[in-house]
Structure 1
Amino acid sequence: MHWDKISTVGSKVIYLCKPGYLSAGTGNVSVCSASGKWDGAPILCQEINCWEPVLKPNAKMLWDGTSRIGSVVYYQCAEGYYTRSLRNYSVCGENGLWEDIDLWCEEISCGPPVALPHANLLWGHNSTPGSTVLYECMEGFYQESGNNMSTCSLSGEWGEVSIKCKAKCGPAPFLANSEVVWHNRSVVIHRCVAGYHSWRGSNVSVCGSSGEWQKATLRCIEIKPPINHLLIFNESCLQWKAEKYEEDTEVYKVTYTGSRDYQRSFYDKRKRFLSSKADQLKLCLGLLPVTNYSITITATSAKFTASVTTNTSLPVPPGPVVYYREFDTPLPTLSLRRSPNTLDLISLYQVFVLPVEGFMMFNCSSPAIAPPLSTLKSPAEYITAQFEVHRVGTEMNLTIGDGLLYGGFYNAPLESGKNYYIILRAVSQWKSALKSSCVLWAKVIATSYALRVSSLSAVATIGLVAVVIWGGYSIHWCFKKT
């Protein structure tokens, strides 16, 4: 009772249920009436009861059956399950309700079993405790050792499996021109058969974890001469293949001798040395032109010699060394100084005359023009002289237009009033081959050979030359005494 100890009319008493009890009546107040009595309070206090605890899936309750305030119920996950909650008990509260706890029981699972190399799984896809999985080696492999069964435990883990599957690689691999000298289940050693030698690569084949042979890379090649496939390219370079073990260094001695059919005194003899580990070799010798060469190569370690011959071709001759000049005379004299070097291979010199007429084109490589049978010249370019080189010596002078024959060509006089280019061509000729080079030697510029006058005049002298100057042109007569 909650009361102030006053019991006059109108005084009140409030009734509250004690702890552990709840009010079940319609009111809890009693009033002192005018009759001097307290009204009857309809309060009814009943003991608090939480009744049955809440069931949790896959869990069982540990409970003494009481449901008063402070009563406790414990939950325990069933076999094959484990709790994922922080609390596993509930208490009956003063509100007459069991505490709501976040509790659930999750089934124990080991998950998928671990995969092992080269092994198949025999498994029903069940990962609960007590489930089993068998391991079986794949095709091409066999079980070398270890156990092949695993069981899912209550801790949610598969038991350890120690199976080892070893590859079955089958027969030893085949290598061309080789034989097997040793073989077990996993290793094969090869060697080259008679008449062949090893050339690079490993001679061991290993059975790999995939069940296939990791094949040896050994190459067995036929035993050939130490110098093979000897040939000449670019006229002056050698190429050959070295038949040897790659790690060996070979020293090659190259000797070459040259002679010329057209030059009996010529003799070219030289030698070169080359040290190399390579199996493909090249060497350029700088051979002279139009020469017959005999070349020998000796592999000094192998004491083997190979030979080859070659004939070098005719090159383009060097351009003549001249000094270009311009002349205003119809009879210019040109000079050529030739080097005393007798190895320049020039056969002859030709002198061309080109009338300057508009656009001109001169082809230095055009064939030589045969000597004319007459002294008539063509109006276009023509050869005015030809000299064989052995007749030139070290110096040559030529007067253009002197009217003489040079090498069967007519050195025709130049026409007055015309401009000309003089071209010198050097020609090298050996058998059917012909090469040439050209230089511009001189230019002859047309001029008047007397002063212009306004009237005709003439002078005549017996036995001399009379010259008439008319309109800027010079006309020549020869008078013979009769």
Structure 2
Amino acid sequence: GYIIGNYTSTLGSEVHYVCQEGFFSGPEDTVSTCTALGTWESPKLYCQEIDCGSPPEVQHAVLEWNRSSSLGSVAHYACQEGFESPGGKITSVCTKEGTWRESASTCAEIMTEISDVLVFNNTCVRWKINPGRMNARIVYVISIKGQRLDPTESVHKEIVNLTTDSRTPEVCLDLYQGANYTVSISAAPPRRSVPAFIWFQTAGSLISLGRNTHLLEDDILEDDGIFNISIFNETCLKLKRTSMKVGSEQTYQQFKVLGQRWYLNNFYHATSFNFTTREQV
């Protein structure tokens, strides 16, 4: 401690003591008086170093601290993965009251916003994310569900993971041709996002022949020609081929015909056949 204020050394004079910065005293007598013996009474001041103890916890943050808890000590906090501090750095400071002054900033969960999902090159998907921490690598979970219009075909289900720090991620998928797809995109834990969905049909869709009857276009073997398919006499199909290979013999493989009765949701009629011809019609 040290003396504060002015004083004299005559009988009855008093001096006052206080603790140095970083120390504190209890409610003891901090005054010393000059006695008739020409001596000063000993003050009962007892100064102790300020100790704030352990810093407080901050939810969703990791404490970075050098274990010093004296006056002016600073504790720093780093937000856990998937969280950030919108208010800037988070710190606590040891005060002269022997307590930590907590920061007003907190760790808030990062919600990854996925938007503007689009399909390109038939089987590739691209999307955008909201601005956030720079260079943050995000793991995306891409859930795929596809079904060809032919109900006898199997359902395509697959989960694809993509890790990237791009603001416009993209991925090319191995998809069935001529199938309807639902693709959902979300951020993997510990990050969170509202899943984004896109619905699309890959190239090579079924050709409608009317009356709930369809023909798989991709199952016609290509020969650099143009095809026009029609139905006649209710149960007959006509394939008109305009080809650069006039008069060439052509094999058509795996014609698949699918029929459904409009009043029976679960009844399907499916048949397939091959044939070889030189005819253009």
- Provide the TM-score with structure 2 as the length reference: 0.47
Comparing both structures, which one devotes a greater share of its residues to strand? 2
Larger radius of gyration: 1
- Provide the TM-score with structure 1 as the length reference: 0.29
Higher relative contact order (CA 8 A, sep 6+): 2
